[in-house]
Amino acid sequence: MYVLVGVAACKGADAVFHMAAPDSSINNFNLHYSVTVEGTRNVVNACISNNVRKLIYTSSPSAVFDGVGAIINGDESMPYPERHNDIYSETKAQAEAIVLAANGKSGLITCALRPSSIFGPGDRLLVPSLVAAARSGKMKFILGDGKNVYYFTYVENVAHAHVCAEKALDLNNSYTGDVAAAGKAYFVTNKEPIPFWTFVSEILEGLGYERPKIHLPIKLLMPIACLVAWAYEHLPFLFGGKPPQFTPSRLRLVSSWRTFNCDRAAKLLCYHPVVPLEEGMRRTVESYTHLRAESKGAKSREFKVVSKSHRFLGEGVVSELLLWRNVRNTLIFGLAVLALLYYFLISSVTVISAVSKLLLVLIAATFLQHFLPTSVFGSQRKVLASFSFEVPEDKMDLASKWVRCAWNDSWNTLEDAVHKRNFTSLGKVLLFGFMMKVLGRYSFATVILTGWALLFLVFHLYDRYESEIDSFVGSMKEFVSKRHTILMERVSYLQQERNSKNKACKLNSRGFSLKGCS
């Protein structure tokens, strides 16, 4: 079918531009091989069948990227690596080799272009992915040291390079050797190197999002990315059918140096960028008005959207801290409480002596504050009012009501389990007892510190991956429900069989001889 379509599309054409390729984020071998490799072979055969003179293939710099070593000012003399960074890169290299090998067959002249990191208006991969990550709160982090340099290529320059290649194949058709344009691959860039994370920050900031600031080491992230890739391969239902963006290949891609030499394209194709990088970035940002942070029609999970975790935690200060809405405040609060927990629970200081020391320090600080000048180093000193240390009665009433309700609910659950034989309540009691048994194996300090760490982790993870976790829980519920239905049907069947057997035995006791009755 592909061959027939290719033949029909190439009929009467003088030049063919082959640009088709699947989404590079989908790491599916069958998809990439069938479209990129077999599809390219079909295009070559269709060109030969229709006597097409020129074939220009859109390849990728990833064809020579192994994901391990940095590429600094790499040129076309670089060989294909023994092992590629991902399936997309491997199949791109195979397709490129097919196109270049077809040069000279039945009058067909070919070449391959390797545009580096294409961006611009209409892009459905790079900018939308950055915006989606920014809206979900994942673009606060710089993966690696943030110094890796890239070559990005504006889409209009990529189109211009294809036009230059088509003209060059005509002009240099009679040339051979190094001066021939045909049968070669060409790196195509904007010729303006820029740090990868600087480019990302400029795009995000132009669309109204915060620049990434927090550095995360690759050695720490790589095991997590490998775990995500394994989970997607073996437990795909966890991801709702969407391929994860946080994979080892992506991690290596955004943290490596990738700069390329365009001298061959300039010399043999007469290619020079027509749109500067800064102008291309400006046009790109202006074209994505629907993805701006302030856009009313934008579908996003901004912090203003109330998630289940935010609603469960009361949508107040506690929610803001536990869900890492402000990383700085969360870290300060978490470390402060951790220090207090260590001071009270882990150190040898008793609770009474620790409270006494804290009160002593507080009283001394309050007393000395009144002797300080009103202005310290140019900033006005704020005097703490006496009511700052008072606990409002309504809050004390609310706390006492919460304790009372928790006690009464626990007692009612126990009463239902014991007297009313409520199996749901019984399960809650048994689960609580089992948890107490497990926690009893560890020291009180260990339980408190572990619980404190999990408090900051569990709610944050659920807030970030709410849909994925809900999908997994839903799948588990469906699995348990099916197994429960099968089990109950089996029990019902055995009960009916037993009743039938008992009825038969009663008949047998009246003088009938039936098999199965003793």
How far, in whole angstroms, is CA 166 from its chain's centroid? 39
Here the tokens at position 269 are 């194709």
Q: What distance lies between CA 505 and its chain's CA centroid?
A: 66
Known active-site residue 482: no
| Contact of 86 with 65, CB cutoff 8 Å | no
Does an H or E element contain 194, and which? Answer: strand 194-195
Q: How far apart are CA 495 and CA 515, in angstroms?
A: 19
Map residue 103 onto helix, strand or coil: coil
Helix (H) or strand (E) holding 187: strand 185-188
Q: What is the DSSP string of 127-167?
A: HHHHHHHHHTT-TTEEESSS--EE--EEHHHHHHHHHHHHH
- Give the H/E segment covering residue 255: helix 248-255
Assigned token pair, 365 = 């600080």
Rg of the chain on CA atoms, in Å: 34
Which residues are within 8 A (CB) of 255 and not within 5 positions of it... i.e. 6 or more apart?
A: 143, 144, 148, 218
Listing DSSP states for 29-61 in one string gives: HHHHIIIIIIHHHHHHHHHHHTT--EEEEE--G
Burial level of 173, CB count in 10 A (0-12/13-18/19+)?
A: middle
Q: Which of 92, 138, 213, 304 is catalytic?
A: 92
User: How many angstroms separate the CA atoms of 329 and 287, rounded?
Assistant: 35
Q: Is 332 helix (H, G, I), strand (E, B) or coil?
A: helix
Just list the catalytic residues.
92
